[in-house]
Structure formats: C-alpha cells, structure tokens
C-alpha cells in the first residue's frame, strides 16, 4: 500500500505535466516526445547492461525475452497507446475538475475484470466503495450538465471514456505479465517504453507531413517531464503488483488517489481551465474519495 500511494503521487505529477504540455498545443508531438523520452532512458540502460554486464543494480536489469514475450509486451504497448490517444485529446478540451474524476472510475472496470478473470474476491467494504463510486459518477454527470458538458453527447467525454476502458484493461494485463507470465518490472517497463515510442512514430510522421488538419506545436519542458514522472510512477506500481497477495483491484483503486493530488495543484496552476464552476468544484472530489 505504501508503494501504491507513492505511485499515486507521481501519477498526479504525470497528469499535471500532461495538462501543461497539451494546453493550447498540438497533442501528437507531445505524445511522441514524451514516449521517446521514456524509450531513450530505457534504451540507454539496456545498452549499458550489454556493454558492462553487472554494472547496473538488479532492479534495473531487464531479462532476455523470447519472440512470444516480445509480442506480449507489444500488445501492452498497443493497449496503452490506444488509451493515451483518446485520453490526451480529451484532457486538452476538458477541465481537470471534470476529466480526472471520470478517469478515477477506471478501477470499476479493473475490479470487474479481477473478479471474472483473476478470481479476486473483494470484501464488503470494497463492494460498498463500488456502489459509492457509481453514485458519484452519476452525480458528476449532473454537475457537468450544469456547466454545459452532457455526458451522453459530448464528443470529448466520449473520448475520455474511450481512453478509460483500455486503461483498466491494461491494469489487468499488467497483473498477468508480472504474475503468471513471470516477467520482471524492468523488463516490462523497458520494452513497453520502447514499443510505445515505435507505435507513435507513424502518427508523428503523419502530423509532420500534414496528412490531416492539425495545430502547431510549441516545445515545453513538461513534454519530457511526462515520461519521467510516469517512469517513476509505473516502476513503483509494477513493484507493488509483484508483491505476493497483491490484489490488482485494490492497487488500482488506491493508485487513483492521484486525482486528489492533480485536482488540488491544478486549481492553482490552471485556474482558468481546471475549474468548470462551483458545482464541478464540489463534485470533482466524489469519485476519488469514494473509489473502492
């Protein structure tokens, strides 16, 4: 639980960096440069591991993989890439006070998958948390309607939900990779980061060649900071999942405490874009506080 909460802190920093990087900016270059940053860090570590065996601590040493294992990690990268494409575009157009609580409901899908696929069994308190989270989501939809955001017809709300669903799927897959597939944390994170950068390369090529209508890109320090904060958050998170008896439903739900960090700091840093209005200010905390 301690590792999960530290991961939530870094994940909150990650969300803040995303909002700073994509605010009035082109989304695809931000995605590309952030993923390339993560891939560069792990590529350097992999090269150092080959050039000087035994120099790196065991916590940073990636294992040799079979072709099948590489495909498993490529699949994880594809799931995350699809989630990020939807999520980044929605975060650009929605206030943090609305977007982040909606994302905080992703543990509901993770919990359902943990029950049906992994055989996890929540206790009564966790089930109560599920009910409270659902009720909070309904309350948030009403609050959003007062601010002009209609959940059933707003395109960016649809994008946000479209990014949240594969995000929950990725959490279940993480538990499989780190548990039943017996992959180590640095192995998963290294190759996941590299494949993610490769998957976004065609998108940045299309953006550069103007295959579609696009916005201009402005470089900001927060673009590489996205990757660095996520590397720290995921490394600690993966380590928590590998602990014997760790329940992905509990770890994922606790990790979504990042919403409280992001919302609190976002109120100060993005005053004009973080708050949609008084009703959203109050409603935004509900799913995070009640998350199972």
- The reported pLDDT for the residue numbered 283 is 43
Over residues 165-195, the pLDDT tens digits come to: 887 788 788 888 988 888 998 999 999 999 9
- The reported pLDDT for the residue numbered 287 is 43
Q: What is the pTM of this model?
A: 0.77
- Give the residue among 45, 52, 82 at the shortest CA–CA distance from 164: 82
Over residues 232-281, the pLDDT tens digits come to: 988 888 888 777 777 666 776 677 666 677 666 666 665 544 434 444 44
In this structure, are residues 186 and 44 in contact, taking their beta carbons and an 8 Å threshold?
no
Q: Measured between alpha carbons, how far is 110 from 170 in angstroms, rounded to an integer? A: 9
Residues 6+ apart with CB under 8 A from 248: 110, 114, 118, 120, 171, 172, 174, 175, 241
Q: Measured between alpha carbons, how far is 19 from 279 in angstroms, rounded to an integer? A: 21
Mean residue pLDDT of the chain comes to 78
What parts of the chain have a pLDDT lower than 70? 96-97, 100-101, 104-114, 116-122, 126-127, 129-131, 133-153, 247-249, 252-253, 256-259, 262-292
Residues 6+ apart with CB under 8 A from 224: 33, 34, 37
């Amino acid at each position: 639980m301690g590792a999960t909460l530290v991961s939530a802190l870094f994940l909150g920093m990650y969300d803040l960096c995303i909002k700073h990087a994509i605010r009035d900016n082109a989304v695809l270059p931000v995605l590309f440069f952030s993923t390339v940053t993560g891939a560069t860090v792990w590529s350097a570590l992999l090269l150092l591991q080959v050039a000087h065996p035994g120099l790196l601590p065991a916590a940073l040493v990636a294992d040799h993989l079979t072709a099948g294992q590489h495909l498993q990690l490529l699949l994880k990268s594809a799931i995350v890439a699809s989630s990020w494409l939807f999520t980044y575009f929605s975060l650009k157009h929605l206030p943090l006070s609305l977007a982040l609580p909606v994302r905080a409901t992703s543990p509901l899908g993770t919990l359902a998958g943990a029950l049906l696929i992994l055989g996890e069994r929540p206790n009564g308190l966790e089930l109560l948390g599920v009910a409270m989270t659902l009720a909070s989501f309904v309350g948030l939809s009403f609050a959003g309607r007062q601010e002009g955001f209609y959940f059933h017809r707003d395109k960016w709300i649809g994008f946000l939900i479209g990014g949240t669903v594969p995000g929950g799927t990725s959490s279940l897959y993480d538990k499989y990779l780190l548990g039943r597939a017996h992959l180590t944390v640095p192995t998963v994170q290294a190759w996941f980061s590299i494949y993610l950068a490769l998957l976004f390369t065609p998108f940045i090529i299309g953006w550069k060649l103007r295959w579609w209508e696009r916005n201009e890109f402005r470089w900001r320090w927060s673009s590489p900071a996205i990757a660095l904060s996520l590397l720290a958050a995921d490394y600690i998170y993966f380590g928590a999942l590998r602990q014997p008896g760790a329940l992905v439903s509990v770890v994922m739900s606790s990790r979504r405490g990042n919403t409280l960090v992001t919302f609190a700091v976002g109120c100060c840093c993005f005053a004009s874009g973080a708050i949609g209005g008084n009703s959203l200010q109050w409603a935004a905390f509900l799913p995070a506080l009640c998350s199972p």
